[in-house]
Structure 1
Amino acid sequence: MLKLDHIALGANDLEKSCETLSQQLGVLPFGGGEHELFGTHNKLWRIETADYPVYLELIAANPKAEPKRARWFGLEKPFLSEDIQLLGFIASTQNIDGLVQKPPFDLLDVIDVTRGVLNWRFGITKDGALLDDGALPYLIEWQGGRHPLDGVAPQHIELKSMAGKALDGLDLNWPCMLARGGAQALSVELIAANGETLRFKRA
C-alpha cells in the first residue's frame, strides 16, 4: 500500500510566496533547499495527520539555476497568476520499480535524486508534467533510512481533508478525511497553526 508522503504547492517567486504562506500557516518553514538536477528550490513545513506526519512543500523554478532535465511538477513554464498553486501530492512506496510497470504509474520513469544527506528514488514523467494533471501522485522511495522530517518538531499544522476524482481508486493509506469520487480537481484543506482553515485547489 502507498503512503502519503507530502503535498506540493507551486509559485513563481519562492521567497515572496514563502512569506505569504508563512503568514497564512502561522509558522515559518523548518527547512528547504535547492534541486540541482531540476533547477528548482523549495521550502518545507511539517503537517500533522491522524496517523503520521507528512510535509508541505512550496516549490518554484530557481532563476539562478539551469536545469539538467525537464523541471518536475510542471514547472517548465511560469504560472499565469502570482497566487500559490496546488500542484499535487507524492506517495511513498518500498516497491517503486514494481509500481511503474503497470497502470496508472507506467508513465513514470524512476530516477535517483540526492540533496545533502537525503537520497531518494523518484517516479516522474519524462517531460516533468504532473501525472493526470496532478490527480495522481508522483512516487518516491526514500533511501538510507533518512527523511526530511527526521528530528523536526510539530508545527501545529493539520491536514484536514483531500478530495479529487482519482483518489478513491488509489491503494493509499489516507491519514485524513477523503472526499471520494466525482469529477472535481484535486483539493487540499489544512488547519493552520492559528486555527484558520486554508484551502488549495488545482486550477
Structure 2
Amino acid sequence: MNCDLDHLAVLAATLEEGAAWCEATLGVAPGPGGRHALMGTHNRLLRIDGEGFPQAYLEIIAIDPDALPPGRARWFGLDDAAEQARLRRDGPRLAHAVLRASDVDVMRQGLIELACQPGPMLSLSRETPAGTLSWRILVRDDGAIDLAGHLPTLIQWQGAHPTEAMPASPLRLRAATLGGLPARVRQLLRLRGVKGTDDGPAVSVTLDTPLGEVTLRSDP
C-alpha cells in the first residue's frame, strides 16, 4: 500500500490574502473551492498535477469569517494563536502535506503502533457544482499535527476526486520532499513520488510556474 501526495495546504489569515499570494508567488489565480461546515474553514483550489504526482492540487485555506463556530479545533492548527498572529504578520505560507491512501484505517493503525498520534477518522463531504465530494481524513481533536508538525495528514476519497472538476492550470509539481519523518514512518507510508527525510522542513516542493521555477518550504 503506497501513499501519494494528494494536496498541499497553504494557510492564510484570509482567503483573499491567500489568493493574492498565489497570484504573486505562482503567477496564477486559484480556482474556486468551498466551505467546510464542520471546521469553519473555506478554501480555493488549483491543480498542480505533474509527472509522478497524479491528481495533486494546491489548497489555500483560511478560517471562514461567515461560518458558525465549529465547536472543535480546526484542522492544520488554524486555531493556534501564534499561527494566526504569524499569518497576519508574514502572510500566507505553505504549511502541510496531505497524502492520499487507499485504506486510511490500516494506515492509521500502523501509525498508532509506531507511537504516532494521527487522530481519529472523520467522514466529511461538501456539495460542489459537479456533485458531492466525500472523503475520510485523520484529524486530531486538538487540531495539532504530530511529530512537531511533520506528520502528513492522511485522506481517502470516496467517489470523485476534486481534481476531476478542476480546470487545467499551468502549474506542474516537479519535486516534493517531506522532512522530519522517522525511517519507520517512511516505511509505513511507502511514499510514491515523494522523497522522505529524517530532518528538514515538514514539506518542500518545486513547481514549474508561469514565473519560472518556484521552490516553497515550510518551516524546518
Q: What TM-score does the superposition give when structure 2 sets the normalisation length?
A: 0.81
The answer to whether residue 124 in structure 2 is matched with residue 113 in structure 1 is yes
Identity of aligned residues (%): 32
The answer to whether residue 78 in structure 2 is matched with residue 61 in structure 1 is no
Structure 1 ranges of 4+ moved more than 6 A: none
Q: Which has the higher strand share?
A: 1
Q: Alpha-carbon deviation of 1:49?
A: 2.2
1:1-203 superposed matches below 5 A: 1-51=2-52, 52-65=54-67, 66-77=69-80, 78-80=84-86, 81-103=89-111, 104=114, 106-116=117-127, 117-143=132-158, 145-163=159-177, 164-166=179-181, 169-170=186-187, 171-175=189-193, 178=195, 180-186=196-202, 187-202=204-219
Equivalent pairs, count: 200
CA distance, structure 2, for counterparts of residue 71 and residue 147 of structure 1: 22
CA distance, structure 2, for counterparts of residue 43 and residue 133 of structure 1: 26
Q: Per-residue CA shift, 1:28-54, capped at 9, x if unaligned?
A: 212211111001111111002212230
Q: Alpha-carbon deviation of 1:16?
A: 1.8
**Alignment RMSD (CA, Å):** 2.1
CA distance, structure 1, for counterparts of residue 77 and residue 144 of structure 2: 4
Query: 5+ residue gaps in structure 2?
Result: none
Q: Alpha-carbon deviation of 1:67?
A: 1.5
**Match of 2:155, as an amino acid?**
I
CA distance, structure 1, for counterparts of residue 33 and residue 46 of structure 2: 9
Answer yes or no: is the 8 Å Cα contact 2:98–2:154 preserved in 1. yes
Q: Alpha-carbon deviation of 1:107?
A: 3.3
Q: Which has the higher helix share?
A: 2
Q: Alpha-carbon deviation of 1:57?
A: 0.6
C-alpha distance 90-100 of structure 1, shift in aligned 2 (>3 A): same
